[in-house]
Amino acid sequence: MKLGFDPKKYLEEQSKYILERVNNYDKLYLEFGGKLLFDLHAKRVLPGFDENAKIKLLHKLKDKVEVIICVYAGDIERNKIRGDFGITYDMDVLRLIDDLRSYELDINSVVITRYDGQPATTVFMNKLERRGIKVYTHRATKGYPTDVDTIVSDEGYGKNPYIETTKPIVVVTAPGPGSGKLATCLNQLYHEYKRGRVAGYSKFETFPVWNVPLKHPLNIAYEAATVDLKDVNMIDSFHFDAYNKIAVNYNRDIETFPILKRIIEKITGEESIYKSPTDMGVNRVGYGIIDDEVVKEASKQEIIRRYFKTGCEYKKGYIDKETFERSKLIMEELNLKEEDRKVVIPAREHSAKLRELSSKNEICPCVALELNDGTIIKGKSSSLMDSTAAVILNAIKHLANISDEIHLISPVILEPIISLKTKTLGSKSTALDCEEILIALSICAATNPTAQVALEKLSLLKGCQAHSTTIISRNDEQTFRKLGIDVTCDPEYSSDNLYYNS
């Protein structure tokens, strides 16, 4: 993989600027935009970026940092899913707590925002409290967003409880956007100043990249990633007016800046040090780019991946047509086509060929996978295994120089697994998925040296690209993610089944 980003330089720049902000205050509330861990989007568009760079930075500052996690009660009630992990937001809060603790970071509490007695949220709160996690609830702020006098009063932020903190940097994070991070930071600022303490607010930003051109594919890829939120990158007019310098920000930050500035000035009783929304962010990503052409190409590929993802979400009914159409417009803006993703045509051609040979003329699910040396490997569905499992086996056999005629998994192992799946557990499908096949392979590897050699090649699939001609299961999505494979799908189901295709 060609590198376009220097993670070490980025970490040095970002940590230096955070500490500079901290020095201005007794306490800094640092809102984290984007993913705190496993930032796979950044990793894909900035080849060389460490997906856990942010958490590693905080680990270096662990003696100065504690963490508040926000989650919106409405997201818990409607079981909102974090797409890259396939888990609900409440479960992601639990995962986040465990992951932060593994990096020796102190978890202060979980804040339930816009809480109004929702039943499922109350159950979640009980679960946290009975495991020793402090929980605070914040109601919707009276007067928000326009009545600043009410917002910054005992009837506004004063109605919500103050969260006791002890360290100079308080990181405020969440499972996703719209979780109430900003409101929580401002609520804390209000209470800090009521207590006579000098506190500040800043935002740890990644995208859009303020010092990269507005129409750079890197910034357009951010629009593609947030197409459901209708985020639009814009020139920060406040920054230009204040400094006569062009900076890129996005519509929500620019639109809310005047109100946010007034709220901060009302809380602190003095003119804000921030002249623009860009000022509020700590974002040194642009300074880590070492090869702009590599970043441009990676960003274009991410836009295509996002387009396929949006198409599948539309097919599943998760998003509206307007969102999908916007994704298409982003593709057209850069003159990108589906076929610009190298694995798309081989997968489709293999599927079409198999369909011609089939007497039933049925859909033939196929997956094409591009290895890191550019070799394309294909796999098809059968009664024995899914196309995802087939392509993984074919890929590791190729990497291990094992002939196609050699079976890696013994029928002695497969037969009882299929029997358990269908007869005992009642599955209607005999085909084993990707994870089931890998488990079977690992069992065979205990007694079969050839299977062991193939199994050892799985690590070489990290960073590979794959495309499926049909929508794959969530289990297979997660297995591919764990293997480090970026997979896209055509927005088609493998059969007419409704429940068994979900």
Q: Write out pLDDT tens, residues 316-330.
A: 998 999 999 999 999
96 is written with which tokens? 């986040």
CATH of 342-501, one of 3.40.140.40, 3.90.78.10, 1.10.10.10, 3.30.70.20: 3.40.140.40
Q: How far apart (Å, rounded) are the C-alpha atoms in residues 195 and 162?
A: 10
Binned at pLDDT 50, 70 and 90, residue 359 comes out as low
CA distances from 219 to 2, 139, 424 (A): 20, 34, 51
Q: Could you tell me which residues come within 8 angstroms of residue 480 by beta carbon, excluding any fewer than 6 positions away?
A: 388, 434, 466, 472, 486, 487
497 is written with which tokens? 């089944």
> Cα-flanking dihedrals φ and ψ of residue 189, to 5°?
-55, -45
Question: Which of 185-189, 213-217, 282-286, 298-302 is the least confident region?
Answer: 282-286
Beta carbons within 10 angstroms of residue 240's beta carbon: 14
Residues in the chain: 502
Q: Determine which helix (DSSP H) or strand (DSSP E) holds 170, and give its type and residue range.
A: strand 169-173
**Fold matches, 7-211+251-288 and 342-501:** no
- DSSP state, residue 420: I
Binned at pLDDT 50, 70 and 90, residue 502 comes out as very low
Note the pLDDT of residue 81.
Answer: 82
Beta carbons within 10 angstroms of residue 24's beta carbon: 11
- DSSP state, residue 334: T
Note the pLDDT of residue 333.
Answer: 96
Q: How far apart (Å, rounded) are the C-alpha atoms in residues 298 and 481?
A: 18
Condensed to tens digits (0 to 9), the pLDDT of residues 123-132 reads 999 999 999 9
Q: Could you give the 3-state DSSP secondary structure of residue 115?
A: coil
Condensed to tens digits (0 to 9), the pLDDT of residues 127-169 reads 999 999 999 999 999 998 889 999 999 999 999 999 999 999 9
468 is written with which tokens? 């499926």
Q: How far apart (Å, rounded) are the C-alpha atoms in residues 61 and 54?
A: 11
Please provide the DSSP assignment of 355-404 as one string.
HHH-TT-----EEEEE-TTS-EEEEE--SSB-HHHHHHHHHHHHHTT--T
Note the pLDDT of residue 357.
Answer: 83
Note the pLDDT of residue 229.
Answer: 86
Condensed to tens digits (0 to 9), the pLDDT of residues 428-444 reads 888 999 999 999 999 99
- DSSP state, residue 140: P
pTM here? 0.91
Binned at pLDDT 50, 70 and 90, residue 356 comes out as confident
Binned at pLDDT 50, 70 and 90, residue 498 comes out as confident
Q: Determine which helix (DSSP H) or strand (DSSP E) holds 110, and give its type and residue range.
A: strand 106-113
The more confident residue out of 332 and 86 is: 332
Q: How far apart (Å, rounded) are the C-alpha atoms in residues 408 and 370?
A: 21
Number of helical H runs and strand E runs in the chain = 20, 15
The mean pLDDT value for 160-180 works out to 94
Q: How far apart (Å, rounded) are the C-alpha atoms in residues 407 and 415?
A: 14
Note the pLDDT of residue 135.
Answer: 98
Find which of 33-37, 301-305, 407-411 is predicted with most confidence, using mean pLDDT: 301-305
Note the pLDDT of residue 198.
Answer: 92
Cα four-point dihedral sign 267, 272, 275, 281: negative
Q: How far apart (Å, rounded) are the C-alpha atoms in residues 338 and 490?
A: 10
116 is written with which tokens? 């109004």
4 is written with which tokens? 């376009």
CATH of domain 7-211+251-288: 3.10.630.10
327 is written with which tokens? 């994704």
Note the pLDDT of residue 36.
Answer: 87
The mean pLDDT value for 188-206 works out to 94
Mean of the per-residue pLDDT values of the chain: 94
- % of the chain surpassing 70 pLDDT: 99
Q: Could you tell me which residues come within 8 angstroms of residue 47 by beta carbon, excluding any fewer than 6 positions away?
A: 1, 2, 3, 4, 5, 294, 295, 298
- % of the chain surpassing 90 pLDDT: 82
Binned at pLDDT 50, 70 and 90, residue 1 comes out as confident
Domain boundaries, the chain: 7-211+251-288, 342-501
CA atoms within 13 A on the CB side of 444: 25
Is 388 in contact with 460 (CB distance < 8 Å)?
no
Q: Could you tell me which residues come within 8 angstroms of residue 104 by beta carbon, excluding any fewer than 6 positions away?
A: 59, 62
Q: Could you tell me which residues come within 8 angstroms of residue 435 by beta carbon, excluding any fewer than 6 positions away?
A: 475, 476, 479
Q: How far apart (Å, rounded) are the C-alpha atoms in residues 217 and 223?
A: 10
Residues pairing with 390 in the sheet? none
Give the type of residue at 202.
Answer: S
Strands 376-380 and 366-370: antiparallel
